Amino acid sequence: MNLLKSSLLLLFGILAINVSIAQEQINPIIKNYGGIFDAPHATEKPDPNMEYKVIVDIVTADSKVSEPFYSIVNVARLMNLHAMGGVKKENMKVVMAIHGGAVWSVLNNEKYNEKYGIDNPHIPLFNELQAAGVKIVVCSQSMLGRQIDHTKLAPGLETATSMLTTMTTYQLKGYAALKF
């Protein structure tokens, strides 16, 4: 009986410790996507005085069409992580260049519904990213290769000649390149 009591006390103690150190995710800029954990212990942090210029190559799609692609949600994480580090959203100059398999995310609700039978789950995320100042451009080459009509894009998205020209142009303007 004492062994059982001791084991139960140990188990409850371990559970209490786990609950006390568990954290909830926060969303300082993009409120509904890209949740992050506060990391006050971090010694390497973003510089809140810098202007961050980032071009993100979005090519990766997910097979689950009912949820936003992780590659796009990761841009929300990028914004939230820098905000957690003290960078104002006005100092975040972020451009997304969507192409390849990820191009299916850019359809308006009518075309997405026609293709997948549901409204486009990316649109609310696109809206939040755009409200935070993220510019979203779509590769015309990827759209044309998949017979996607440029007039059937989600609201606010722009078209680019190509991802290649967009990436090179922004990199030569001093933007750091990321690929998701």
User: What's the CATH number where 120 sits?
Assistant: 3.40.1260.10
Cβ atoms of 115 and 66 within 8 Å: the answer is no
For residue 128, the enclosing domain spans 52-179
Measured distance CA(4)–CA(8) in Å, rounded: 6
**Ramachandran bin of 106, using left for φ above 0, alpha for ψ from -120 to 50, beta for the remaining angles:** alpha
Structural domain includes residue 159: yes
Question: How many independent structural domains does the chain possess?
Answer: 1
Structural domain includes residue 59: yes
Residue 16 has pLDDT above 80, yes or no: no
Helix (H) or strand (E) holding 160: strand 158-160
- Sign of the C-alpha dihedral computed for residues 32, 36, 37 and 38 taken in this order: negative
CA–CA distances in Å: residue 17 to residues 8, 13, 131: 14, 6, 39
**What's the pTM?**
0.87
| pLDDT-derived band at 20, boundaries 50, 70, 90 | very low
Structural domain includes residue 64: yes
Structural domain includes residue 4: no
| pLDDT-derived band at 38, boundaries 50, 70, 90 | very high
